[in-house]
Amino acid sequence: DENRLELNDDSSIEYDYLVIATGPKLAFEEVEGLGPDGHTQSVCKTGHAETAHIDFKKLVEDPGPVVVGAAPMASCFGPAYEYLFILDTELKKRKIRDKIKMHFVTPEPYIGHLGLDGVGDTKSMLESEMRDRHVHWTTNARITKVEEGKMHFTEVDEDGNDKKEHELEFKHSMILPAFKGVDAVMDIEGLTNPRGFILIDDHQRNPKYQNIFAVGVCVAIPPVHATPIATGAPKTGYMIESMVTATTHNIVNLLKGDEPDQKGSWNAVCLADFGDTGVAFVALPQIPPRNMNWASRGKWVHVAKIAYEKYFLHKVRAAKTEPIYEKTIMKMIGVVRLKESG
pLDDT band at 99 (very low <50, low <70, confident <90, very high): very high
pTM of the model: 0.93
Q: Does 218 participate in catalysis according to the annotation?
A: no
Phi, psi dihedrals of residue 41, rounded to the nearest 5°: -95, 165
Q: Would you state the pLDDT for residue 27?
A: 98
Q: Does 270 participate in catalysis according to the annotation?
A: yes
The chain-wide mean pLDDT, for the chain, equals: 94
Least confident of 32-36, 258-262, 291-295, 302-306: 291-295
Q: Would you state the pLDDT for residue 252?
A: 97
Q: Would you state the pLDDT for residue 341?
A: 61
Query: What average pLDDT does range 301-329 have in this prediction?
Result: 88
Q: Would you state the pLDDT for residue 9?
A: 76
pLDDT in tens, 103-142: 999 999 999 999 999 998 999 999 999 999 999 999 999 9
Query: What average pLDDT does range 142-158 have in this prediction?
Result: 98
Q: Would you state the pLDDT for residue 170?
A: 98
Query: What average pLDDT does range 80-102 have in this prediction?
Result: 98
Query: What average pLDDT does range 166-179 have in this prediction?
Result: 98
Report DSSP state, residue 192. B
Taking Cα atoms as reference points, which of 144, 172, 171, 140 lies closest to residue 32?
A: 144
User: E-assigned strands of the chain?
Assistant: 4-6, 12-14, 18-20, 25-26, 66-70, 102-105, 135-138, 141-147, 150-156, 162-169, 172-176, 179-180, 212-214, 268-273, 278-284, 292-297
CB 238 within 8 A of CB 264: no
User: Which is catalytic among the residues 125, 135, 270, 271?
Assistant: 270
239, pLDDT greater than 90: yes
217 CB-near residues (< 8 Å, 6+ apart): 23, 24, 76, 179, 235, 240
Q: Would you state the pLDDT for residue 3?
A: 83
Q: Would you state the pLDDT for residue 320?
A: 84
Q: Would you state the pLDDT for residue 2?
A: 65
Task: Tabulate helix, strand, coil % of the chain (nearest 5).
Answer: 30, 25, 45
Q: Would you state the pLDDT for residue 1?
A: 59
205 CB-near residues (< 8 Å, 6+ apart): 212, 213, 250, 260
The rounded percent of the chain whose pLDDT value lies above 70 is 99
Q: Would you state the pLDDT for residue 334?
A: 83
User: Which is catalytic among the residues 31, 74, 76, 214?
Assistant: 76
Query: What average pLDDT does range 20-46 have in this prediction?
Result: 97
